[in-house]
Structure 1
């Protein structure tokens, strides 16, 4: 007879007490925060420099667009192989190599004298950046307990907002004073220093972190990359992040055009207003990480209400509203969606051994990258052939996909891990 009275029911919400991050964990978060700031600053810089690059290299609008797309294509392709490489070679080694590579190609961007050379450089730049997400998450996971993991990762990912703002402010100032080539030289050089800092100052991994799971791993049980790719639960998280990505990429790609083209707002006002959702989204990602840790990794309690709030907000945005109210709604949408960012990863990142966290994270991240490739084009087709209101319906569809996936995948890290244990038990007995 098993003793179940001391075990919490799976559907009971267990609040995890707050645990202060160790000094090593805080240092790791800070170093990878800096890496992410440079990642976003370097990738955003080209959008500011594109008019000048197009003029100096005599590029057509199509060629200019291809320079942006080249990064996203290679960045998406390398996600899963990059995650597997991280798990094989280690987070520190891969992270340093990634930051070094993309920083070198950032510098090289400033030396390009033709479209073909620039296109090749930006594609290689995407490969360098593509290995960093999994490396950064794995490195933080190796230095935190499961109960702290999403909080620490949320702090690290708040850097995305900082990097975007750095690119907008510092990048614009550098282009205005020393030209677009000099701006790439400066940001690339700073990236090289960040790679050096990670290589020198990153503390050693905490050996106990690999065993600090939501459930106790069986000594005879191992989870491999092959197991991950066979897991319906993991692909459910991929679908969840795809739905999230539809909202995030659709908003960033088309809301500025909507405000300028459909509402007649000056571009300068739109650019200034764009800082608001970026900042709000950064704060929300931190709060979402802290909250999902407090809730024991139960993502549904955040993702489903958050996406329902996004649907309501998007429905309001389809109405003819005063511009200040519309921008306020953009901020609310960024907050509600940003709260969902970390919870999407909570089950796998908290519930899996750190030996496979890199592969798991990279696989889930691919969902958003695919959304980033598909959504801007799809919304453009809808705007051209139907209406702006219908284009916002595409974003609502992304919310629905995210909600359905969140409802279908295991409720938390314990159930997520248990799904692998059950499969292995069936395989053993079946054999």
Structure 2
């Protein structure tokens, strides 16, 4: 990071912009989940698996854009990629909001996935480039907290406005589109053009590029990295299953009122923010304890997801959701992101992060549809939650054996 950036506190502006980007994305991702019954009725009594396929279409497109977006960011720069992507994202919300059938919803979800698929590599390559080293994990946690804030707004907003006040569901999408356009304007104002940086990278000789790409490919597919990718797959599977189906699960199988499920599901998001900040700061100060911290967080996430299903009364459920929020995905994410971004040359950070995120987000394609399919065929979504918990337990074992117990850890 240049001295000019330090003097102007540019990295703080980046953090603000990226937090708001995640807020907008997660408002969209969660705005429909508390009102699936209304959506099913409005679209012609479609099945649970068809509704679950909305999220799967989005995440399929989102995941498919991860690696291409990494190349686009490396080629054209973050700002040049972000602004057109978010304009397309806003358009997608209006397509869904005007839908009269499920196919148009799928089309809008795919466009939203393609558009937001450009965000991850842009966001965290910006933070990796401009945030001071001693503050990186904490900065990533702050940026990720935008997803929790957006989740709270999306879940509670749609639950209250549609579930309790009977406002039409598509008005929520129009509101989300306006928010996305406002965030796009902030990207234009707060993020500097990095055209010069891109041109500098392109001036590297062909021989150097070939050598560097070969080394990066080797580093990205070691046993350590493959286990990290599977770990993120498991973390994302449980999280996106909960984000997509927890409100409906609470209504159908735990007896909660439709108007209150947004508040209950939002417990995860509210408690995630302090958890992410606490553990990221802890790892920044104690980098040698990073791997064992991840192992403990993975184990805690597995237990709390299982406890959510097993809970014999609402208070046990509340405790499980609080603990999952504090110890789950958003606490693990910034630590893993810093691990990956520190493991490759600066010029390839966007590409490395998008490969990492592709493995993680692959689970988000499967989890919403599979859990809905399980609900349709068995009459209960319980098995879907246990699958999420089981994947995390496998990740605990693999991460502990392959990474945490090695003497020569890749810790910094």
Question: Under a length normalisation based on structure 2, what TM-score does the superposition of the two structures give?
Answer: 0.80
SS of aligned partner of 1:158: helix
Aligned to 1:394: 387
Q: Is the CA contact (8 Å cut-off) linking 1:299 and 1:344 kept in structure 2?
A: no
Deviation at 1:88, TM superposition (A): 2.2
Q: Is the CA contact (8 Å cut-off) linking 1:235 and 1:364 kept in structure 2?
A: no
Aligned to 2:32: 46
SS of aligned partner of 1:268: coil
Distance in 2, Cα, partners of 1:60 & 1:389: 21
Q: Trace 1:159-170 onto structure 2 (pairs within 5 A).
A: 159-170=146-157
Distance in 2, Cα, partners of 1:58 & 1:387: 22
Does 1:355 find its partner at 2:341? no
Distance in 2, Cα, partners of 1:333 & 1:177: 31
Does 1:364 find its partner at 2:356? yes
Deviation at 1:27, TM superposition (A): 0.8
Higher relative contact order, structure no. (Cα contacts within 8 Å, ≥ 6 residues apart): 2
Deviation at 1:26, TM superposition (A): 1.1
Runs of 5+ consecutive residues of structure 2 not aligned to the other structure: 1-5, 201-207
Does 1:109 find its partner at 2:96? yes
Q: 2:225 aligns with which of 234, 238, 252?
A: 234
Distance in 1, Cα, partners of 2:250 & 2:56: 23
Q: Is the CA contact (8 Å cut-off) linking 2:34 and 2:261 kept in structure 1?
A: no
Instruction: Name the Cα RMSD after superposition.
Output: 3.6
Aligned to 1:17: none
Q: Is the CA contact (8 Å cut-off) linking 2:55 and 2:365 kept in structure 1?
A: no
Distance change in 2, residues 1:228/1:66 (3 Å): same
Deviation at 1:153, TM superposition (A): 1.1
Does 1:58 find its partner at 2:44? yes
Runs of 5+ consecutive residues of structure 1 not aligned to the other structure: 1-19, 211-217, 419-431
Distance in 2, Cα, partners of 1:44 & 1:65: 12
Summarize deviations over 1:122-144 as a string: whole Å, max 9, x none: 21111001111111111111211
Distance in 2, Cα, partners of 1:388 & 1:60: 17
Comparing 101-110 and 167-176, the one that deviates more: 167-176
Aligned to 1:140: 127
Comparing 170-179 and 296-305, the one that deviates more: 170-179
Aligned to 2:212: 222
Deviation at 1:163, TM superposition (A): 0.6
Distance change in 2, residues 1:102/1:49 (3 Å): farther
Summarize deviations over 1:243-287 as a string: whole Å, max 9, x none: 212332333345445443443333334332112111112322222
Summarize deviations over 1:153-193 as a string: whole Å, max 9, x none: 11011011111122234445666587444432332122122
SS of aligned partner of 1:302: helix
Q: 2:331 aligns with which of 331, 335, 339?
A: 339
Aligned to 1:197: 186
Q: Is the CA contact (8 Å cut-off) linking 1:242 and 1:367 kept in structure 2?
A: yes
Distance in 1, Cα, partners of 2:274 & 2:411: 29
Summarize deviations over 1:345-368 as a string: whole Å, max 9, x none: 232113322311112111222233
Deviation at 1:38, TM superposition (A): 0.7
Deviation at 1:403, TM superposition (A): 1.8
Distance in 2, Cα, partners of 1:259 & 1:50: 12
Aligned to 2:176: 187
Deviation at 1:334, TM superposition (A): 2.1
Q: Trace 1:115-154 onto structure 2 (pairs within 5 A).
A: 115-154=102-141
Distance in 1, Cα, partners of 2:174 & 2:385: 39
Report how many aligned residue pairs link the two structures. 389
Q: Trace 1:25-36 onto structure 2 (pairs within 5 A).
A: 25-36=11-22
Q: Is the CA contact (8 Å cut-off) linking 2:253 and 2:380 kept in structure 1?
A: no
SS of aligned partner of 1:147: helix
Summarize deviations over 1:318-370 as a string: whole Å, max 9, x none: 65533212211221122111322222223211332231111211122223322
Distance in 2, Cα, partners of 1:232 & 1:307: 19
Comparing 237-246 and 390-399, the one that deviates more: 390-399
